Amino acid sequence: MPESTGVIHDIGYQRYTGPRLGRRHVFGALYLHGLRTIFGLGRSAKAKIFPWLVVGIVTLVAVIVAAVRSQIGEVLLTYAQFADSMSWLIIFFVAVAAPELVSRDLRSGVLPLYFSRPLPRGDYATAKLLALVTGLWLLLGGPQLVMFLGAAFTTDAGLRGVGDELLDLLPALLYAGLWAVVFASVGLLVASLTGKRAFAAGGIVAVFLMTMPIGGTLAILPSRTVNELAGLVSPSTLVMGVGTWALPDPPGADSGEGLMIGGFGPVYAVAAVLLVAACVTLLLLRYRKVAAR
Amino acid sequence: MSTVTWITARGLFGRRRFLMLLPLPAVLVALAVLCWSLGVAPADWGPPVLVGLGLAVVLPVLALVVGTGVLGAEIDDGTVVHVLTKPLPRWQIVLPKLAVATGVSAATVAVPIFVAGMLADSVRLGGALAAASALGALAYSALFLAMSLLTRRPVLLGLVYVLIWEGLLGRFVSGTRVLSIQQWVIALADRSAPTDLLSTTVSVPVAVVLTALVAIGFTALAVDRLRSFSIAGETS
């Protein structure tokens, strides 16, 4: 029997003995990373083009609105109307951001790595969803703040004018939050179904864009009840319907262009809550299954 | 039928997700039939269904997904190398792909919009809409095919065109309508079947010339780009 010549060297491997941060910190890190991904921060210049294009356009519109108001005194768009008229850009922004958040991870197969950490599946989906909600809210809320500052610094009524303006702004920020929650949950659900960013973007746009004319067509059918409920079929008119019901001075109320919702305001609110709840549930179910592959 | 045509068609139809696009035209027909059967005046439902849904949403979105898919999907997968390394002139790769993209989007849009146009006014309007949207499909497909060679994110760039240029600017800044494929399609359809359902500010000769220019120009651009195409991994 030959003498054993092998030696085990101690090459200095050590166990990690520092603090382990746990679930909350993983969640926080994922959320922050998601928020940075949406705006392309920490990524190459190419990843910044589309998000910042949208941010730029939205801010430009807000600056124009604020400038016109301070110079001529004409209010082109109220805070809530601003959110409504930006709806196409919000759709585009969701189509840019949602696939970046979830489709890339699906495509490159890194989900098992995420789920080998102390991170429940639900947390992954929730963190991404919260990041998208925050991103959309910032997209709408930031320009509204610009409009507010423009109005606040040019008001004639002194501090009371600023106070009135603030009271106009706060409900509009909540309304922007509603836009963000509804669009983020629908968009993220669609994006989580495919690993191809291109196809996810197409799907998101198809869902939002298709439903809008359907609502428009239902609104001219010869039945008053159907007309007033027509807004329910499309996420954007659904949100506008809730706004018409809940906001103190609803968008389009004076011009008659607003949504006809009759006495169905609460129905719209309930439908919005149900839509968000359904999308979040489906998203969580999706992530219960997806990592098993 | 060349092999490239065959591969492209299989790449499109061989995947289940292509079937997810079929609800788009189906909704168009369903809404038209619903309005017609309930006896709504065509002047009321014609513009939102024919233009608002058909020409402004179904046609561009279908052409976008199909047009960027015929070449873009292969570039994404990296399988385009197999086609590029064959001794084929570049135009023999681009033209079959363009033909498939145009054929698929024209067929899936023309049929429902023919039905909708027929119910709204007459067979003549249906035929005019179908023919015009087929020409529109050609222009859109050429545009989006060229985009998939110009950038790594063709769908997003195409969405910028469809949503922001045609959708948002076309509504508020009327000058941009001259450069909008959607308006050319409306002008062409309105010329061959004059009704008061369709209205546009673009004149017919301008629409004809610009449609041809876009179709030919972007195809030539795509052939040229493919000539010096470099394959790189996914960046950003």
Q: What is the pLDDT of residues A176-211, one digit of tens each?
A: 999 999 999 999 999 998 888 888 888 898 888 888
A166 touches chain B (CB under 8 A): no
- Cα(B174)–Cα(A1) distance, integer angstroms: 94
Q: What is the mean pLDDT of chain A?
A: 85
- Cα(B75)–Cα(B148) distance, integer angstroms: 8
- Cβ <8 Å between A88 and B236: no
- Cβ <8 Å between A202 and B65: yes
Find all residues with CB under 8 Å of A15, minimum gap 6, and list them: none
Which stretches of chain A are DSSP H helices? 23-38, 45-71, 79-85, 87-98, 104-108, 111-115, 121-154, 158-191, 197-218, 224-229, 235-246, 265-290
Is-contact A89 A54, C-beta < 8 A? yes
Out of A46, A202, A214, closest to residue B236 by CB = A46
Respond yes or no on whether ipTM tops 0.85.
no
DSSP-based three-state secondary structure for A119? coil
Find all residues with CB under 8 Å of B215, minimum gap 6, and list them: B138, B139, B142
Domains of chain A, residue spans = 23-290
In-domain check, residue B73:
yes
Find all residues with CB under 8 Å of A163, minimum gap 6, and list them: none
pTM: 0.87
Residue A163 in tokens: 């106070």
Chain B residue with CA closest to A202: the answer is B65
In-domain check, residue B223:
yes
Out of A96, A205, A213, closest to residue B48 by CB = A213
Chain A residue numbers with beta carbons less than 8 Å from the beta carbon of B34 are 217, 221
Is-contact B113 B121, C-beta < 8 A? no
Residue with tokens 């064959």: B86
Indicate the angle between helix axes B123-150 and B181-192, nearest 10 degrees: 160
Out of A199, A202, A217, closest to residue B35 by CB = A217
Find all residues with CB under 8 Å of A37, minimum gap 6, and list them: A43, A97, A100, A101, A131
- Cα(A210)–Cα(A45) distance, integer angstroms: 32
What are B29-80's pLDDT values in tens digits?
888 888 888 877 888 788 888 888 888 888 998 999 889 888 888 888 788 8
- Cα(B144)–Cα(A50) distance, integer angstroms: 17
Please state the rounded mean pLDDT for residues B160-188: 83
CA angle B205, B211, B212 (to 5 degrees): 95
In-domain check, residue B236:
no
Out of A46, A92, A194, closest to residue B163 by CB = A92
Please state the rounded mean pLDDT for residues A84-107: 90
- Cα(A127)–Cα(A122) distance, integer angstroms: 9
Q: What is the pLDDT of residue A293?
A: 53
User: pLDDT category, B1, cuts 50, 70, 90?
Assistant: low
The number of folded domains in chain B is 1
Burial of B24 (0-12, 13-18, 19+ CB in 10 A): buried
Å between A93 CA and nearest CA of chain B: 10
Q: What is the CB-side half-sphere exposure of residue B195 using CA atoms within 13 A?
A: 21
User: pLDDT category, B17, cuts 50, 70, 90?
Assistant: low
Q: Is the pLDDT of residue A153 over 70?
A: yes
User: pLDDT category, A254, cuts 50, 70, 90?
Assistant: very low
Residue with tokens 């000769």: B205
- Cα(A166)–Cα(A119) distance, integer angstroms: 40
Å between B163 CA and nearest CA of chain A: 7
Chain A residue numbers with beta carbons less than 8 Å from the beta carbon of B162 are 205
Q: What is the pLDDT of residue B236?
A: 44
Q: Rounded to an integer, what is the distance from CA A279 to the centroid of its chain?
A: 13
Q: Is the pLDDT of residue A46 over 60?
A: yes
Q: For chains A and B, count residue pairs whose Cβ atoms are closer than 8 Å.
A: 101
Burial of A269 (0-12, 13-18, 19+ CB in 10 A): middle
- Cα(B3)–Cα(B1) distance, integer angstroms: 7
Question: Judged by CB atoms within 8 Å, which residues 158-217 of B form the interface with A?
Answer: 159-160, 162-164, 167-168
Å between B221 CA and nearest CA of chain A: 22
Question: Judged by CB atoms within 8 Å, which residues 108-127 of B form the interface with A?
Answer: none
Å between B39 CA and nearest CA of chain A: 8
Please state the rounded mean pLDDT for residues A144-154: 87
- Cα(B32)–Cα(B47) distance, integer angstroms: 11
The 10 Å Cβ neighbour count of residue B110 is 22
